[in-house]
Structure 1
Amino acid sequence: MKGKFLLAVCMLLLATQIGAQEVAYEEYDLDNGLHVILHQDNTAPLVTTSVMYHVGGKDRTEGRTGFAHFFEHLLFEGTKNIERGKWFEIVSSNGGRNNANTSQDRTYYYEVFPSNNLKLGLWLESERMLHPVIDQKGIDTQNEVVKEEKRLQYDNSPYGQIFPVVGKSLFKKHPYKDPNIGYMEDLDAATLEDVIAYKKKYYVPNNAVLVVAGDINIGETKKMIQDYFAPIPKGATVTRNYPLEDPITSEVETVTYDPNIQIPATIVAYRTPGFKERDAYVLDMISSYLSDGKSSKLYKKMVDEQKQALQIGAFNIGQEDYGMYLIFGLPVGDTSLDVLVSEAEEEIAKVRTDLISEKDYQKLQNKFENNFVNSNASVEGIAGSLATNYLLYGDTSLINKEIEIYRSITREEMKAVANKYLNPNQRVVIDYLPEEKPAN
């Protein structure tokens, strides 16, 4: 009886904690199509202003890859009213910080300021959208910046070619086949007219969402947003019609070499559905079951017990059109890559053929509940979640109800989804090897 009482108390506390996590927000559209989301939290005198554009690495034409990532840099160059090179100085001198990042599906810019500088944050993002200076000098400057980033993060970084190799292996038609950063010869070949046309097509209010979160007054914030963003002209509707991939029906084996590594790696990759699909949520749970933490199936077996792997992990990488499910392993000593592949497949096969235990299922549910409780611990994080849920998932309310999807996933569903996507005949096996040294 005492145990049942304690369990009831714990469940009540968890429910209270989750209820307290609910994020209040207001959203609306300006006449030019810009979607606005406001979240008021007056607990700290900080405010995040952010704009997410629905443009990423996949939005390109053949021979002009990498434009979205390039623009992530280019749109800090300067504007009609911000002198070239002064953006970061303006932000830091007013007590703020800012950053940006690009994926295959979107580009995100944000600033965090003391709340008395909300007006400045809004002005900066409206300047970026309306008045960026795009000229040959800025293009040449940022071209060199991107090349240096590619050298540091891809060309000269250990295992830096993993995602380009996986993308090229899993996709033959869809733009996901090319790396987000693009190919440098494409950026070198781009003309000023190419770059201006790209800006005109994608960096328009009706292809973006503005989120303001933090210590704000809703009425005053709406007035500032109207003043700064409403005059920006609406762009043409962005349409996408990317080719569909043919199913992978037999195992593909490939080898790649990396001069920056000494320990080989194996990568087993599966093409999976886009992150809006329910099956993608189930794959999240499968990857957590297999490799999240030292008690997970792959880690416990291959690292702890059998001493076959230095590292082993299963990762569900979400993207808008197609996802990628990866098994990544580093062998111990003379353990072959084939052994890592077969041992990992043995654990995946168990998910396909048997229901996971009720105990493991409850551990998974507890883990996802805990992740949900902690997911919106900062106003900055809330701003990013609101933007992502609206722009990419088409449902802002996921910030409060996404946990309901994970709660509803059953053990039977995990088995069914593993059978649907994680079979040997649907995978690409990549031997990722140190570059062979030439014989003397």
Structure 2
Amino acid sequence: MKKSIMALSAALLLGGVASAQKVAFEEYTLDNGLHVILHNDPSAPVVVTSVMYHVGAKDENPERTGFAHFFEHLLFEGTENIKKGEWFKMVSSNGGTNNANTSDDRTYYYEVFPSNNLELGLWMESERMMHPVINQIGVDTQNEVVKEEKRLRMDNQPYGNLINEVKKNMFVNHPYRWSPIGSMAHLDAATLEEFQAFNKKFYIPNNAVLVVAGQIDIVQTKEWIQKYFGTIKKGTPVTKQTFVEQPITKSFNATYQDPNIQIPMLVASYRTPSMKTRDARVLDLISSYLSNGKSSKLYKKIVDEKKMALEIGAVNLSQEDYGMYVLYGLPMAPSTSEDITKEIDEEILKVQTDLISEKDFQKLQNTYDNQFVNANSNLEGIAENLAKYYMLYGDINLINSEIELYHSITREEIREVAKKYLNPNQRLILDYVPSTEKAQN
């Protein structure tokens, strides 16, 4: 009886939290194809204006990689009505902050302003879309910025090229095989006309979604959106290419020498399906069960109990077309990478053979309930999630309902999906080892 009462109380609490976190929104499309999503939250006098473009590293010419990430920087250079170097000054002097980020699948720009500066935020994003100044001075300036970023984040950072090396080996046909930061040689070789053509092709209203979230007057906001974005011409529709990877049916090995490390790292990577699939969500649960944090099965066994590794963990990279489940570990002598791989395989085999315990299953559910609540706990998160669910998933309602998909997953599904994707013959084993060469400058 006591357990039943506790379960009922937990269910009621969860229902209350889920209900309180419901994100209300309104959506519509302008004549030029720009999709608009509005979310009114009167709780604080703050507003987020953001635009997500459906262009990422996967949309690049293989001989001109890094363009999407380059534009993340370049489109802050200025517009016909915002002089070079004035963008950030304009934002900060009006009490705001702003940023942008790029992935393989999309590019995202946003500003956070006091709500009385909503019109300014909308005008600035419309300027970025309609009147960007793309000239040789801006290209040369940002070329040096991107090179420095690559040096700091990858070339001179311990284990900084780990994910890049995994991607390069995991994908043969798909553009996921290169990193968003791309090749510096490609950027050096690119002409101004190539940058201008890339902008004209992808940074258009019918390849974007505008999200306005915060303390807003819906009627007034719609008027400003029409005023500033409605006159932007529709671009030529973007046709997305489809790239198919053949299933991995045989384990394969690769080696990468990193001049910035002294301790070798074991990396094991499995290719997984699109983040839009049910299997991808099951794999999310499996990833958390095996390797999320110090209470996970792999950490407790390999690091805490057997003291075979200094660290063990995973990165679950779910993307629009494919994903990767990447396990990594730092062996502790006398244990080797092979010893750790054997321990990992034993734990995966348990998941493939036996149902995980009810206790562990409930822990997973609780973890995802917490993540669901946190994902929509602030305006910036809500704005980006609204854009993401519309553009990459094709279903904005997932911002409220995706947790129900995770709750519908069974222990039996966890076992079957582990059998389907996490077998020794379906992976890359990457030996990420020290190099005797000096780190790059």
- Code of the aligned partner of 2:352: R
How far does the alpha carbon of each residue in 1:21-45 deviate from its partner, in whole angstroms, 9 at most, with x for none? 1000000000000000000001001
- Match for residue 173 of structure 1? 173
1:414 aligns with 2:411: no
User: Structure 1: any 5+ residue segments left out of the alignment?
Assistant: none
- Match for residue 234 of structure 2? 234
How far does the alpha carbon of each residue in 1:198-239 deviate from its partner, in whole angstroms, 9 at most, with x for none? 001000000000000001011110000000000000011111
- Match for residue 434 of structure 2? 434
Does the residue aligned with 1:392 lie in a helix, a strand or coil? helix
CA–CA distance in 1 between the matches of 2:370 and 2:73? 35
Does the 8 A contact of 2:293 with 2:313 survive in 1?
no
Does the residue aligned with 2:241 lie in a helix, a strand or coil? coil
CA–CA distance in 1 between the matches of 2:171 and 2:206? 29
Q: Report deviation, 1:2.
A: 4.6
- Match for residue 129 of structure 2? 129
Distance 1:242 1:189, change over 3 A: farther
Q: Report deviation, 1:425.
A: 0.5
CA–CA distance in 1 between the matches of 2:313 and 2:3? 36
Does the 8 A contact of 1:65 with 1:183 survive in 2?
yes
CA–CA distance in 2 between the matches of 1:399 and 1:376? 8
- Match for residue 366 of structure 2? 366
CA–CA distance in 2 between the matches of 1:231 and 1:299? 55
- Code of the aligned partner of 1:168: K
Does the 8 A contact of 1:48 with 1:380 survive in 2?
yes
Q: Report deviation, 1:4.
A: 3.1
1:63 aligns with 2:88: no
CA–CA distance in 2 between the matches of 1:293 and 1:66? 32
* Percent sequence identity over aligned pairs: 63
- Match for residue 268 of structure 2? 268
- Match for residue 251 of structure 2? 251
State the Cα RMSD in Å.
Answer: 1.1
Does the 8 A contact of 2:264 with 2:432 survive in 1?
yes
Distance 1:182 1:437, change over 3 A: closer
Q: TM-score, structure 2 length as denominator?
A: 0.98
Structure 2 matches for 1:290-305, cutoff 5 A? Answer: 290-305=290-305
CA–CA distance in 1 between the matches of 2:339 and 2:79? 56
- Match for residue 23 of structure 2? 23
Q: Report deviation, 1:314.
A: 2.7
- Match for residue 144 of structure 2? 144
1:388 aligns with 2:394: no
CA–CA distance in 2 between the matches of 1:105 and 1:154? 20
Q: Report deviation, 1:180.
A: 1.0
Does the 8 A contact of 1:311 with 1:329 survive in 2?
yes
User: Structure 2: any 5+ residue segments left out of the alignment?
Assistant: none
CA–CA distance in 2 between the matches of 1:130 and 1:223? 18
- Match for residue 158 of structure 1? 158
Structure 2 matches for 1:32-43, cutoff 5 A? Answer: 32-43=32-43
Does the 8 A contact of 1:56 with 1:103 survive in 2?
yes
CA–CA distance in 2 between the matches of 1:184 and 1:18? 46
- Code of the aligned partner of 1:424: P
- Match for residue 309 of structure 1? 309
Does the residue aligned with 1:99 lie in a helix, a strand or coil? strand
Distance 1:62 1:6, change over 3 A: closer
Distance 1:248 1:341, change over 3 A: same
Q: Report deviation, 1:334.
A: 2.8
Q: Report deviation, 1:359.
A: 1.4
CA–CA distance in 1 between the matches of 2:400 and 2:334? 48
- Code of the aligned partner of 2:14: L
Does the 8 A contact of 2:211 with 2:387 survive in 1?
yes
- Code of the aligned partner of 2:16: T
CA–CA distance in 2 between the matches of 1:2 and 1:289? 27
Distance 1:212 1:349, change over 3 A: same
Distance 1:263 1:121, change over 3 A: same
The farther-off stretch of 269-278 and 104-113 is 269-278
CA–CA distance in 2 between the matches of 1:314 and 1:81? 46
Distance 1:232 1:365, change over 3 A: same
Distance 1:39 1:326, change over 3 A: same
How far does the alpha carbon of each residue in 1:304-354 deviate from its partner, in whole angstroms, 9 at most, with x for none? 100011111133211111101111111123321111111111111111121
Does the 8 A contact of 1:53 with 1:108 survive in 2?
yes
Distance 1:92 1:354, change over 3 A: same
- Match for residue 82 of structure 2? 82
Q: Report deviation, 1:243.
A: 2.6
Does the 8 A contact of 1:175 with 1:242 survive in 2?
no
Aligned length: 438
